[in-house]
Structure 1
Protein backbone atom coordinates (compact mmCIF):
# COMPACT_ATOMS: atom_id res chain seq x y z
CA UNK A 1 0.00 0.00 0.00
CA UNK A 2 1.52 3.31 -1.03
CA UNK A 3 1.97 6.25 1.31
CA UNK A 4 -0.26 8.33 -0.98
CA UNK A 5 -3.28 6.11 -0.20
CA UNK A 6 -2.96 6.54 3.56
CA UNK A 7 -4.97 9.19 5.37
CA UNK A 8 -5.08 10.06 9.06
CA UNK A 9 -8.33 10.41 10.97
CA UNK A 10 -9.36 11.77 14.38
CA UNK A 11 -12.74 11.45 16.12
CA UNK A 12 -13.17 13.53 19.31
CA UNK A 13 -16.03 13.44 21.81
CA UNK A 14 -16.53 15.05 25.24
CA UNK A 15 -19.33 14.38 27.72
CA UNK A 16 -20.27 14.33 31.40
CA UNK A 17 -21.83 11.38 33.20
CA UNK A 18 -23.37 10.67 36.61
CA UNK A 19 -20.52 8.43 37.73
CA UNK A 20 -17.29 8.92 39.62
CA UNK A 21 -13.96 8.99 37.75
CA UNK A 22 -13.14 5.66 39.38
CA UNK A 23 -16.35 4.11 38.01
CA UNK A 24 -15.61 5.43 34.53
CA UNK A 25 -12.04 4.14 34.76
CA UNK A 26 -13.23 0.67 35.75
CA UNK A 27 -15.69 0.59 32.85
CA UNK A 28 -13.09 1.48 30.21
CA UNK A 29 -10.21 -0.64 31.53
CA UNK A 30 -11.59 -3.88 32.98
CA UNK A 31 -12.99 -5.19 29.69
CA UNK A 32 -16.02 -6.95 31.20
CA UNK A 33 -18.36 -6.36 28.25
CA UNK A 34 -20.58 -4.06 30.29
CA UNK A 35 -20.88 -1.52 27.49
CA UNK A 36 -18.55 -2.56 24.67
CA UNK A 37 -17.30 -6.13 24.24
CA UNK A 38 -15.16 -8.32 26.52
CA UNK A 39 -11.42 -7.71 26.22
CA UNK A 40 -8.33 -8.67 28.14
CA UNK A 41 -7.63 -5.86 30.63
CA UNK A 42 -4.55 -3.80 29.84
CA UNK A 43 -1.32 -4.34 31.70
CA UNK A 44 -1.42 -1.46 34.23
CA UNK A 45 1.66 0.47 33.13
CA UNK A 46 2.91 2.54 30.23
CA UNK A 47 4.56 0.17 27.78
CA UNK A 48 2.42 -2.74 28.90
CA UNK A 49 0.28 -4.98 26.73
CA UNK A 50 -3.17 -3.68 25.85
CA UNK A 51 -6.21 -5.39 24.33
CA UNK A 52 -6.10 -6.78 20.79
CA UNK A 53 -2.32 -6.57 20.57
CA UNK A 54 -2.14 -2.89 21.44
CA UNK A 55 0.43 -1.19 23.66
CA UNK A 56 -0.43 0.98 26.66
CA UNK A 57 0.92 4.47 25.89
CA UNK A 58 -0.40 6.28 28.98
CA UNK A 59 -1.60 4.84 32.30
CA UNK A 60 -2.58 7.31 35.04
CA UNK A 61 -5.59 5.97 36.96
CA UNK A 62 -8.26 7.20 37.09
CA UNK A 63 -7.39 10.11 34.77
CA UNK A 64 -5.68 9.03 31.53
CA UNK A 65 -5.55 5.81 29.55
CA UNK A 66 -4.21 5.53 26.00
CA UNK A 67 -3.58 2.43 23.93
CA UNK A 68 -2.07 2.29 20.46
CA UNK A 69 -1.96 -0.45 17.83
CA UNK A 70 0.48 -0.41 14.91
CA UNK A 71 0.19 -2.99 12.14
CA UNK A 72 -3.25 -3.84 13.54
CA UNK A 73 -3.95 -6.67 11.13
CA UNK A 74 -7.30 -5.06 10.31
CA UNK A 75 -7.68 -4.46 6.58
CA UNK A 76 -7.40 -0.80 5.70
CA UNK A 77 -6.34 0.34 9.19
CA UNK A 78 -2.60 0.07 9.90
CA UNK A 79 -2.70 2.42 12.92
CA UNK A 80 -5.29 2.79 15.68
CA UNK A 81 -5.17 4.78 18.94
CA UNK A 82 -7.76 5.21 21.70
CA UNK A 83 -7.21 8.06 24.17
CA UNK A 84 -9.37 8.51 27.30
CA UNK A 85 -9.14 11.48 29.68
CA UNK A 86 -11.32 11.48 32.81
CA UNK A 87 -11.70 14.43 35.21
CA UNK A 88 -13.87 14.84 38.32
CA UNK A 89 -16.87 17.15 38.43
CA UNK A 90 -19.12 18.17 41.35
CA UNK A 91 -16.58 17.16 43.96
CA UNK A 92 -15.90 13.82 42.30
CA UNK A 93 -19.54 12.68 42.19
CA UNK A 94 -19.65 13.16 38.41
CA UNK A 95 -17.05 12.80 35.69
CA UNK A 96 -16.08 14.61 32.50
CA UNK A 97 -14.70 12.37 29.76
CA UNK A 98 -12.77 13.24 26.61
CA UNK A 99 -12.43 10.40 24.10
CA UNK A 100 -10.18 10.59 21.04
CA UNK A 101 -10.05 7.82 18.43
CA UNK A 102 -7.30 8.41 15.88
CA UNK A 103 -5.15 6.55 13.41
CA UNK A 104 -4.88 5.82 9.71
CA UNK A 105 -7.38 4.43 7.23
CA UNK A 106 -6.14 3.33 3.80
CA UNK A 107 -9.10 1.80 1.95
CA UNK A 108 -12.43 3.54 1.21
CA UNK A 109 -11.54 6.30 3.69
CA UNK A 110 -14.87 8.16 3.62
CA UNK A 111 -16.89 5.00 4.30
CA UNK A 112 -14.57 3.81 7.08
CA UNK A 113 -14.53 7.22 8.75
CA UNK A 114 -18.31 7.59 8.54
CA UNK A 115 -18.81 4.18 10.13
CA UNK A 116 -16.28 4.83 12.91
CA UNK A 117 -17.69 8.31 13.59
CA UNK A 118 -21.30 7.13 13.95
CA UNK A 119 -20.34 4.02 15.95
CA UNK A 120 -18.45 6.26 18.39
CA UNK A 121 -21.62 8.13 19.35
CA UNK A 122 -23.51 4.89 19.92
CA UNK A 123 -20.76 3.21 21.93
CA UNK A 124 -20.25 6.23 24.17
CA UNK A 125 -24.01 6.54 24.69
CA UNK A 126 -24.02 2.87 25.73
CA UNK A 127 -21.16 3.60 28.15
CA UNK A 128 -23.29 6.29 29.80
CA UNK A 129 -26.30 3.96 29.96
CA UNK A 130 -24.16 1.26 31.56
CA UNK A 131 -22.65 3.62 34.13
CA UNK A 132 -26.03 5.18 34.99
CA UNK A 133 -28.16 2.04 35.26
CA UNK A 134 -26.03 -1.11 35.60
CA UNK A 135 -22.43 -0.63 36.77
CA UNK A 136 -20.79 -2.52 38.39
CA UNK A 137 -23.14 -5.50 38.01
CA UNK A 138 -21.64 -8.65 36.44
CA UNK A 139 -22.50 -9.02 32.76
CA UNK A 140 -22.95 -11.80 30.22
CA UNK A 141 -22.18 -10.58 26.71
CA UNK A 142 -23.24 -11.99 23.36
CA UNK A 143 -23.01 -10.67 19.81
CA UNK A 144 -24.18 -11.91 16.43
CA UNK A 145 -24.66 -10.90 12.80
CA UNK A 146 -27.60 -11.27 10.48
CA UNK A 147 -27.74 -13.36 7.29
CA UNK A 148 -26.75 -12.14 3.86
CA UNK A 149 -30.11 -10.50 3.31
CA UNK A 150 -29.40 -8.10 6.17
CA UNK A 151 -26.87 -6.22 4.02
CA UNK A 152 -29.68 -4.78 1.86
CA UNK A 153 -30.15 -0.99 1.92
CA UNK A 154 -33.52 -1.25 3.72
CA UNK A 155 -32.50 -4.05 6.09
CA UNK A 156 -32.27 -1.98 9.27
CA UNK A 157 -35.66 -0.40 8.68
CA UNK A 158 -37.08 -3.93 8.46
CA UNK A 159 -35.45 -4.79 11.80
CA UNK A 160 -37.07 -1.77 13.46
CA UNK A 161 -40.49 -2.78 12.17
CA UNK A 162 -39.98 -6.36 13.34
CA UNK A 163 -39.21 -5.07 16.84
CA UNK A 164 -42.58 -3.29 16.84
CA UNK A 165 -41.19 0.22 16.46
CA UNK A 166 -42.99 2.73 14.27
CA UNK A 167 -41.69 5.93 12.75
CA UNK A 168 -43.46 7.78 15.57
CA UNK A 169 -41.79 5.79 18.38
CA UNK A 170 -39.61 8.39 20.06
CA UNK A 171 -36.40 7.98 21.99
CA UNK A 172 -37.24 7.71 25.69
CA UNK A 173 -40.50 5.84 25.09
CA UNK A 174 -41.22 2.63 26.96
CA UNK A 175 -42.12 -0.02 24.39
CA UNK A 176 -43.25 -3.63 24.16
CA UNK A 177 -40.42 -5.14 22.12
CA UNK A 178 -41.24 -8.06 19.83
CA UNK A 179 -37.92 -9.84 20.06
CA UNK A 180 -37.37 -13.58 20.53
CA UNK A 181 -39.91 -13.11 23.32
CA UNK A 182 -41.81 -9.92 24.08
CA UNK A 183 -40.25 -7.72 26.74
CA UNK A 184 -40.62 -4.18 28.05
CA UNK A 185 -37.79 -1.73 27.42
CA UNK A 186 -36.95 1.93 27.06
CA UNK A 187 -35.95 2.98 23.55
CA UNK A 188 -32.79 4.75 24.73
CA UNK A 189 -31.24 5.41 21.29
CA UNK A 190 -32.55 5.56 17.77
CA UNK A 191 -31.33 6.94 14.48
CA UNK A 192 -31.18 5.43 10.98
CA UNK A 193 -28.05 3.46 11.93
CA UNK A 194 -28.57 2.18 15.49
CA UNK A 195 -31.26 1.16 17.97
CA UNK A 196 -30.67 0.92 21.73
CA UNK A 197 -33.08 -0.84 24.07
CA UNK A 198 -32.68 -0.70 27.85
CA UNK A 199 -34.56 -3.42 29.69
CA UNK A 200 -34.57 -3.89 33.46
CA UNK A 201 -31.69 -6.38 33.25
CA UNK A 202 -30.12 -5.83 29.85
CA UNK A 203 -28.89 -3.45 27.20
CA UNK A 204 -29.81 -4.66 23.70
CA UNK A 205 -27.91 -2.87 20.92
CA UNK A 206 -28.79 -3.19 17.23
CA UNK A 207 -26.36 -2.05 14.55
CA UNK A 208 -27.44 -1.04 11.05
CA UNK A 209 -24.10 -1.92 9.52
CA UNK A 210 -25.84 -2.57 6.22
CA UNK A 211 -25.26 1.16 5.64
CA UNK A 212 -21.54 0.34 5.35
CA UNK A 213 -21.91 -2.89 3.36
CA UNK A 214 -21.93 -5.33 6.29
CA UNK A 215 -24.71 -7.41 7.91
CA UNK A 216 -26.97 -6.02 10.62
CA UNK A 217 -25.56 -6.86 14.06
CA UNK A 218 -26.96 -7.33 17.55
CA UNK A 219 -25.16 -7.26 20.91
CA UNK A 220 -26.75 -8.06 24.26
CA UNK A 221 -25.25 -7.00 27.60
CA UNK A 222 -27.24 -9.15 30.05
CA UNK A 223 -27.05 -8.27 33.75
CA UNK A 224 -29.58 -10.83 35.01
CA UNK A 225 -28.18 -13.18 37.70
CA UNK A 226 -29.20 -16.24 35.63
CA UNK A 227 -28.01 -14.87 32.27
CA UNK A 228 -27.18 -17.51 29.65
CA UNK A 229 -25.28 -15.84 26.79
CA UNK A 230 -25.35 -18.91 24.54
CA UNK A 231 -29.12 -19.25 24.79
CA UNK A 232 -29.57 -15.50 24.39
CA UNK A 233 -27.38 -15.46 21.29
CA UNK A 234 -29.18 -18.42 19.73
CA UNK A 235 -32.59 -16.87 20.37
CA UNK A 236 -31.66 -13.51 18.83
CA UNK A 237 -29.94 -15.22 15.90
CA UNK A 238 -33.10 -17.20 15.13
CA UNK A 239 -35.13 -14.00 15.43
CA UNK A 240 -32.83 -12.01 13.15
CA UNK A 241 -32.69 -14.81 10.58
CA UNK A 242 -36.49 -14.90 10.65
CA UNK A 243 -36.73 -11.18 9.90
CA UNK A 244 -35.01 -11.92 6.59
CA UNK A 245 -36.83 -15.17 5.88
CA UNK A 246 -33.88 -17.43 6.61
CA UNK A 247 -33.46 -20.24 9.10
Structure 2
Protein backbone atom coordinates (compact mmCIF):
# COMPACT_ATOMS: atom_id res chain seq x y z
CA UNK A 1 0.00 0.00 0.00
CA UNK A 2 1.42 3.40 -1.01
CA UNK A 3 2.05 5.87 1.79
CA UNK A 4 3.95 9.12 2.10
CA UNK A 5 6.98 9.46 4.38
CA UNK A 6 9.09 12.32 5.72
CA UNK A 7 12.42 12.15 7.56
CA UNK A 8 13.62 15.47 9.00
CA UNK A 9 16.93 16.19 10.69
CA UNK A 10 18.60 19.43 11.86
CA UNK A 11 22.22 19.90 12.90
CA UNK A 12 25.08 22.38 13.16
CA UNK A 13 28.54 21.74 11.79
CA UNK A 14 31.99 23.38 11.95
CA UNK A 15 31.93 24.38 8.29
CA UNK A 16 30.84 27.41 6.35
CA UNK A 17 27.56 27.39 4.41
CA UNK A 18 29.66 27.45 1.23
CA UNK A 19 31.52 24.31 2.30
CA UNK A 20 28.25 22.53 3.07
CA UNK A 21 26.86 23.57 -0.32
CA UNK A 22 29.97 22.30 -2.09
CA UNK A 23 29.70 18.97 -0.27
CA UNK A 24 26.05 18.34 -1.15
CA UNK A 25 26.40 19.40 -4.79
CA UNK A 26 29.90 18.57 -6.01
CA UNK A 27 31.55 16.61 -3.18
CA UNK A 28 29.10 13.78 -2.53
CA UNK A 29 31.81 11.13 -2.93
CA UNK A 30 33.34 12.39 0.31
CA UNK A 31 30.46 11.19 2.48
CA UNK A 32 27.78 9.44 0.38
CA UNK A 33 28.72 8.29 -3.14
CA UNK A 34 29.91 10.18 -6.24
CA UNK A 35 27.13 11.87 -8.20
CA UNK A 36 27.04 14.38 -11.01
CA UNK A 37 26.32 17.83 -9.54
CA UNK A 38 22.87 19.23 -10.25
CA UNK A 39 22.41 21.75 -13.02
CA UNK A 40 22.56 25.16 -11.31
CA UNK A 41 18.98 26.23 -11.94
CA UNK A 42 15.40 25.38 -11.09
CA UNK A 43 14.28 22.78 -13.58
CA UNK A 44 17.82 21.54 -14.07
CA UNK A 45 18.80 17.90 -14.25
CA UNK A 46 20.17 16.11 -11.20
CA UNK A 47 21.41 12.64 -10.33
CA UNK A 48 19.38 9.53 -11.17
CA UNK A 49 17.01 11.40 -13.46
CA UNK A 50 15.76 13.79 -10.78
CA UNK A 51 14.96 17.47 -11.20
CA UNK A 52 16.09 20.57 -9.31
CA UNK A 53 13.04 22.26 -7.80
CA UNK A 54 14.84 24.81 -5.58
CA UNK A 55 18.28 26.30 -6.19
CA UNK A 56 19.60 29.19 -4.08
CA UNK A 57 23.29 28.73 -3.24
CA UNK A 58 24.47 28.35 -0.57
CA UNK A 59 21.12 28.28 1.24
CA UNK A 60 18.50 26.07 -0.38
CA UNK A 61 18.60 22.99 -2.61
CA UNK A 62 15.71 20.64 -3.38
CA UNK A 63 15.86 17.73 -5.79
CA UNK A 64 12.82 15.63 -6.68
CA UNK A 65 12.19 12.49 -8.68
CA UNK A 66 8.89 10.86 -9.58
CA UNK A 67 10.57 7.96 -11.38
CA UNK A 68 12.80 6.56 -8.67
CA UNK A 69 13.55 3.24 -10.34
CA UNK A 70 12.85 1.13 -7.25
CA UNK A 71 9.77 -1.10 -6.98
CA UNK A 72 9.17 -0.08 -3.34
CA UNK A 73 9.26 3.68 -3.92
CA UNK A 74 7.56 5.98 -6.43
CA UNK A 75 8.53 9.53 -5.32
CA UNK A 76 11.77 10.75 -3.74
CA UNK A 77 12.65 14.28 -2.64
CA UNK A 78 15.73 15.63 -0.88
CA UNK A 79 15.81 19.14 0.58
CA UNK A 80 18.68 21.00 2.22
CA UNK A 81 18.21 24.37 3.94
CA UNK A 82 21.49 25.95 5.09
CA UNK A 83 21.92 28.99 7.35
CA UNK A 84 24.99 30.79 8.61
CA UNK A 85 26.01 30.65 12.28
CA UNK A 86 28.78 32.38 14.25
CA UNK A 87 29.46 35.01 11.63
CA UNK A 88 29.68 32.47 8.83
CA UNK A 89 32.19 30.20 10.55
CA UNK A 90 29.59 27.50 11.18
CA UNK A 91 26.44 26.33 9.45
CA UNK A 92 23.01 25.10 10.50
CA UNK A 93 21.44 22.53 8.19
CA UNK A 94 17.89 21.28 7.90
CA UNK A 95 17.59 18.09 5.87
CA UNK A 96 14.27 16.62 4.75
CA UNK A 97 13.93 13.34 2.87
CA UNK A 98 10.36 12.72 1.73
CA UNK A 99 8.41 10.79 -0.84
CA UNK A 100 6.21 7.74 -1.21
CA UNK A 101 6.97 4.14 -0.29
CA UNK A 102 4.77 1.74 -2.20
CA UNK A 103 5.45 -1.52 -0.33
CA UNK A 104 6.80 -2.81 3.01
CA UNK A 105 6.40 0.71 4.42
CA UNK A 106 7.55 0.11 8.01
CA UNK A 107 10.74 -1.70 6.99
CA UNK A 108 11.56 0.82 4.26
CA UNK A 109 10.99 3.77 6.59
CA UNK A 110 13.04 2.24 9.41
CA UNK A 111 15.95 1.57 7.06
CA UNK A 112 15.80 5.02 5.47
CA UNK A 113 15.59 6.77 8.84
CA UNK A 114 18.55 4.94 10.36
CA UNK A 115 20.62 5.34 7.17
CA UNK A 116 19.87 9.08 7.24
CA UNK A 117 21.44 9.46 10.67
CA UNK A 118 24.59 7.63 9.55
CA UNK A 119 24.93 9.48 6.24
CA UNK A 120 24.49 12.88 7.89
CA UNK A 121 27.01 11.96 10.57
CA UNK A 122 29.45 11.01 7.81
CA UNK A 123 28.75 14.35 6.12
CA UNK A 124 29.75 16.14 9.33
CA UNK A 125 32.88 13.99 9.64
CA UNK A 126 33.81 14.83 6.05
CA UNK A 127 33.23 18.55 6.54
CA UNK A 128 35.16 18.60 9.81
CA UNK A 129 38.18 16.55 8.75
CA UNK A 130 38.42 16.28 4.95
CA UNK A 131 36.38 19.05 3.30
CA UNK A 132 37.39 19.78 -0.26
CA UNK A 133 39.95 16.99 -0.56
CA UNK A 134 39.82 14.68 -3.61
CA UNK A 135 38.41 11.28 -2.75
CA UNK A 136 38.75 7.73 -4.06
CA UNK A 137 35.41 6.06 -3.36
CA UNK A 138 34.78 2.32 -3.18
CA UNK A 139 31.68 0.39 -2.14
CA UNK A 140 30.94 -3.31 -1.88
CA UNK A 141 28.52 -5.86 -0.44
CA UNK A 142 29.11 -9.07 1.46
CA UNK A 143 28.14 -12.56 0.33
CA UNK A 144 24.75 -14.16 0.95
CA UNK A 145 25.81 -15.31 4.42
CA UNK A 146 26.03 -11.65 5.48
CA UNK A 147 22.23 -11.38 5.46
CA UNK A 148 22.04 -13.52 8.62
CA UNK A 149 20.52 -11.94 11.72
CA UNK A 150 23.86 -11.84 13.59
CA UNK A 151 26.02 -10.91 10.60
CA UNK A 152 26.90 -7.39 11.64
CA UNK A 153 28.21 -8.54 15.01
CA UNK A 154 30.66 -10.75 13.10
CA UNK A 155 32.03 -7.67 11.34
CA UNK A 156 32.86 -5.98 14.63
CA UNK A 157 34.60 -9.09 15.90
CA UNK A 158 36.62 -9.45 12.69
CA UNK A 159 37.82 -5.86 13.09
CA UNK A 160 39.01 -6.75 16.59
CA UNK A 161 36.46 -4.55 18.37
CA UNK A 162 35.04 -5.62 21.69
CA UNK A 163 31.29 -5.49 22.14
CA UNK A 164 31.73 -2.55 24.52
CA UNK A 165 34.10 -0.58 22.26
CA UNK A 166 32.19 2.68 22.15
CA UNK A 167 31.95 5.63 19.85
CA UNK A 168 34.97 7.88 20.37
CA UNK A 169 37.40 5.08 21.18
CA UNK A 170 40.79 4.87 19.49
CA UNK A 171 41.49 1.37 18.23
CA UNK A 172 43.95 -0.75 16.30
CA UNK A 173 41.55 -2.37 13.85
CA UNK A 174 42.26 -5.54 11.86
CA UNK A 175 41.74 -4.91 8.17
CA UNK A 176 42.54 -6.57 4.85
CA UNK A 177 45.42 -9.03 4.66
CA UNK A 178 45.54 -9.20 8.46
CA UNK A 179 47.08 -5.75 8.73
CA UNK A 180 46.15 -3.44 11.58
CA UNK A 181 45.47 0.26 11.26
CA UNK A 182 44.88 3.02 13.79
CA UNK A 183 41.40 4.54 13.75
CA UNK A 184 38.80 6.38 15.77
CA UNK A 185 35.41 4.74 16.14
CA UNK A 186 33.44 7.80 15.07
CA UNK A 187 30.05 6.04 14.93
CA UNK A 188 28.72 2.82 16.41
CA UNK A 189 25.31 1.33 17.04
CA UNK A 190 23.80 -2.11 16.27
CA UNK A 191 23.20 -1.07 12.64
CA UNK A 192 26.27 0.90 11.53
CA UNK A 193 29.93 1.38 12.31
CA UNK A 194 32.22 4.22 11.25
CA UNK A 195 36.01 4.23 11.44
CA UNK A 196 38.02 7.40 10.78
CA UNK A 197 41.72 7.24 10.05
CA UNK A 198 44.09 10.10 9.30
CA UNK A 199 43.22 9.74 5.61
CA UNK A 200 39.92 7.92 5.23
CA UNK A 201 36.37 7.32 6.38
CA UNK A 202 35.50 3.60 6.37
CA UNK A 203 31.79 2.87 6.81
CA UNK A 204 30.20 -0.48 7.66
CA UNK A 205 26.49 -1.01 7.01
CA UNK A 206 24.50 -3.65 8.87
CA UNK A 207 21.89 -3.92 6.17
CA UNK A 208 21.23 -7.50 7.23
CA UNK A 209 18.74 -5.92 9.65
CA UNK A 210 16.60 -5.09 6.60
CA UNK A 211 17.16 -8.32 4.69
CA UNK A 212 20.14 -7.19 2.58
CA UNK A 213 23.86 -8.04 2.70
CA UNK A 214 26.28 -6.22 4.96
CA UNK A 215 28.04 -3.43 3.04
CA UNK A 216 31.22 -1.37 3.24
CA UNK A 217 32.06 2.03 1.75
CA UNK A 218 35.54 3.52 1.75
CA UNK A 219 36.10 7.26 1.30
CA UNK A 220 39.88 7.49 0.88
CA UNK A 221 41.44 10.97 0.85
CA UNK A 222 45.10 9.93 0.65
CA UNK A 223 46.97 11.50 -2.30
CA UNK A 224 47.81 8.07 -3.73
CA UNK A 225 44.43 6.43 -2.97
CA UNK A 226 43.25 3.77 -5.41
CA UNK A 227 39.53 2.99 -5.28
CA UNK A 228 39.87 -0.35 -7.09
CA UNK A 229 42.62 -1.54 -4.75
CA UNK A 230 40.48 -0.60 -1.75
CA UNK A 231 37.44 -2.33 -3.21
CA UNK A 232 39.33 -5.57 -3.88
CA UNK A 233 41.02 -5.59 -0.50
CA UNK A 234 37.88 -4.97 1.53
CA UNK A 235 35.81 -7.34 -0.61
CA UNK A 236 38.30 -10.12 0.12
CA UNK A 237 38.21 -9.19 3.81
CA UNK A 238 34.41 -9.20 3.96
CA UNK A 239 34.13 -12.46 2.05
CA UNK A 240 36.63 -13.94 4.47
CA UNK A 241 34.61 -12.83 7.49
CA UNK A 242 31.60 -14.79 6.34
CA UNK A 243 33.38 -17.79 4.93
CA UNK A 244 34.94 -18.20 8.37
CA UNK A 245 31.59 -17.65 10.05
CA UNK A 246 30.00 -20.34 7.90
CA UNK A 247 32.86 -22.80 8.60
CA UNK A 248 32.71 -22.13 12.32
CA UNK A 249 28.94 -22.56 12.38
CA UNK A 250 29.19 -25.84 10.47
CA UNK A 251 31.88 -27.12 12.85
CA UNK A 252 29.82 -26.17 15.88
CA UNK A 253 26.75 -27.87 14.43
CA UNK A 254 28.75 -31.03 13.72
CA UNK A 255 30.17 -31.03 17.25
CA UNK A 256 26.73 -30.61 18.75
CA UNK A 257 25.32 -33.46 16.65
CA UNK A 258 28.12 -35.80 17.80
CA UNK A 259 27.70 -34.95 21.49
Query: TM-score normalized by structure 1?
Result: 0.97
- In the other structure, the counterpart of 2:116 is 120
Residue among 239, 242, 247 paired with 1:241: 239
Q: Is the 8 A contact 1:32 1:139 kept in 2?
A: no
- In the other structure, the counterpart of 1:208 is 206
Residue among 76, 81, 100 paired with 2:77: 81
Q: Is the 8 A contact 1:35 1:123 kept in 2?
A: yes
- In the other structure, the counterpart of 1:70 is 66
Runs of 4+ that moved beyond 3 A: none
Q: Is the 8 A contact 2:59 2:81 kept in 1?
A: yes
Q: Is the 8 A contact 2:140 2:215 kept in 1?
A: yes
Residue among 215, 218, 221 paired with 1:220: 218
Establish whether residue 35 from structure 1 lines up as the match of residue 31 from structure 2: yes
Q: Is the 8 A contact 2:62 2:79 kept in 1?
A: yes
Q: Is the 8 A contact 2:82 2:91 kept in 1?
A: yes
Residue among 169, 175, 181 paired with 1:173: 169
Residue among 187, 194, 197 paired with 1:196: 194
After superposition, give the CA deviation of every residue in 1:153-211 in whole Å (9 maximum; x if it has no partner): 00000001100111121110110010112100000000000000000000000000000
Establish whether residue 47 from structure 1 lines up as the match of residue 43 from structure 2: yes
* Structure with greater proportional helix content: 2
Establish whether residue 59 from structure 1 lines up as the match of residue 65 from structure 2: no
Q: How far did residue 31 of structure 1 move?
A: 4.2
Q: Is the 8 A contact 1:40 1:50 kept in 2?
A: yes
Q: Is the 8 A contact 1:31 1:40 kept in 2?
A: no
- Supply the distance in 1 between the matched residues of 2:167 and 2:63 (Cα, whole angstroms): 33
Q: How far did residue 32 of structure 1 move?
A: 4.4
- Supply the distance in 2 between the matched residues of 1:146 and 1:90 (Cα, whole angstroms): 43
Query: TM-score normalized by structure 2?
Result: 0.92
- In the other structure, the counterpart of 1:145 is 141
Q: Which runs of no fewer than 5 residues in structure 1 stay unpaired?
A: none
- Supply the distance in 1 between the matched residues of 2:21 and 2:106 (Cα, whole angstroms): 32
The structure having more radius of gyration, on CA atoms, is: 2
Corresponding residue SS for 1:68:
strand
Q: Which deviates further from its counterpart, 25-34 or 190-199?
A: 25-34
- Supply the distance in 1 between the matched residues of 2:237 and 2:163 (Cα, whole angstroms): 21
Q: Is the 8 A contact 1:187 1:198 kept in 2?
A: yes
- In the other structure, the counterpart of 2:102 is 106
Aligned length: 242
Q: Is the 8 A contact 2:27 2:132 kept in 1?
A: no
- In the other structure, the counterpart of 2:257 is none
- In the other structure, the counterpart of 2:127 is 131
Q: Is the 8 A contact 2:49 2:67 kept in 1?
A: no
- Supply the distance in 2 between the matched residues of 1:125 and 1:174 (Cα, whole angstroms): 18
After superposition, give the CA deviation of every residue in 1:128-167 in whole Å (9 maximum; x if it has no partner): 0000000111100000000000000000000011001111
Q: Is the 8 A contact 2:138 2:218 kept in 1?
A: yes
